[in-house]
Amino acid sequence: MTEKIIPLSVPSLKGNEFKYVKECIDTEWVSSAGSYVDKFAKEMASYAGTKYAIACSSGTAALHTALILTGVEAGDEVIVPDVTFIAPVNTVRYVGANPVFIDCDDYLNIDADKLASFCEEECDFTGEKLINKTSGARVRAIIPVHIFGNPAEMERIMDLAVKYGLKVTEDATESVGSYYREGKYAGRKTGSVGDIGCYSFNGNKIITTGGGGMIVTNNPEYAQKADYLTNQAKDDTVRYVHNETGYNYRMNNIQAAIGCAQLEKIEEYIDTKRKNFNIYKDALADIDGLELVEEPSYGFSNFWYYSLLVDKEKYGLNREELMKKLDESGIQTRPLWQLNHRQMPYKDCQAYSIEKAEHYYDRLLNIPCSVGLKPEDIKRVLGVMKDV
% the chain with pLDDT above 90: 97
Indicate the burial class of 223 (C-beta count within 10 angstroms; 0-12, 13-18, 19 or more): buried
Residue 80 and residue 43: Cα distance in Å, rounded? Answer: 29
- What residue ranges in the chain does DSSP mark as E strands? 52-56, 77-81, 98-102, 123-125, 130-132, 138-142, 167-171, 179-180, 196-200, 213-217, 290-292, 299-300, 306-310, 334-335, 351-352, 364-367
DSSP designation for 225: H
Quick one: average pLDDT of 124-151? Answer: 98
> How confident is the model over 186-214, as pLDDT tens digits?
999 999 999 999 999 999 999 999 999 99
Indicate the burial class of 137 (C-beta count within 10 angstroms; 0-12, 13-18, 19 or more): middle
Instruction: Spell out the domain ranges in the chain.
Output: 17-263, 266-386
What residues have CB less than 8 Å from 38, skipping those under 6 apart? none
Quick one: average pLDDT of 231-246? Answer: 95
% the chain with pLDDT above 70: 99
Q: What is the pTM of this model?
A: 0.96
Residue 122 and residue 118: Cα distance in Å, rounded? Answer: 5
Quick one: average pLDDT of 18-29? Answer: 96
Given this model, what pLDDT does residue 294 score?
A: 98
> How confident is the model over 32-48, as pLDDT tens digits?
888 999 999 999 999 99
> How confident is the model over 334-349, as pLDDT tens digits?
999 999 999 999 999 9
Q: How far is CA 150 from CA 18, 53, 105, 311, 314, in A?
A: 31, 22, 11, 22, 26
Residue 342 and residue 216: Cα distance in Å, rounded? Answer: 31
> How confident is the model over 85-133, as pLDDT tens digits?
999 999 999 999 999 999 999 999 999 999 999 999 999 999 999 999 9
Mean per-residue pLDDT of the chain:
97
Identify the band that residue 3 occupies on the pLDDT scale cut at 50, 70 and 90. Answer: confident
Residue 219 and residue 167: Cα distance in Å, rounded? Answer: 13
Identify the band that residue 368 occupies on the pLDDT scale cut at 50, 70 and 90. Answer: very high
Position 1 pLDDT exceeds 60: no
- Tell me the torsion sign for CA atoms 73, 224, 246, 260: positive
Query: Are 9 and 333 spatial neighbours (Cβ–Cβ below 8 Å)?
Result: no
* Cα dihedral value 72, 76, 82, 83, nearest 10: 10
- Tell me the torsion sign for CA atoms 81, 85, 88, 89: positive
> How confident is the model over 251-299, as pLDDT tens digits?
999 999 999 999 999 999 999 999 999 999 999 999 999 999 999 999 9
Query: Are 206 and 269 spatial neighbours (Cβ–Cβ below 8 Å)?
Result: yes
Quick one: average pLDDT of 14-27? Answer: 97
17-263 and 266-386 share one CATH topology?
no
Q: Which fold has domain 17-263?
A: Aspartate Aminotransferase; domain 2 (3.40.640)
Identify the band that residue 11 occupies on the pLDDT scale cut at 50, 70 and 90. Answer: very high
Strand partners, 198: 171, 215
Identify the band that residue 2 occupies on the pLDDT scale cut at 50, 70 and 90. Answer: low
Query: What is the assigned CATH class of domain 266-386?
Result: alpha beta
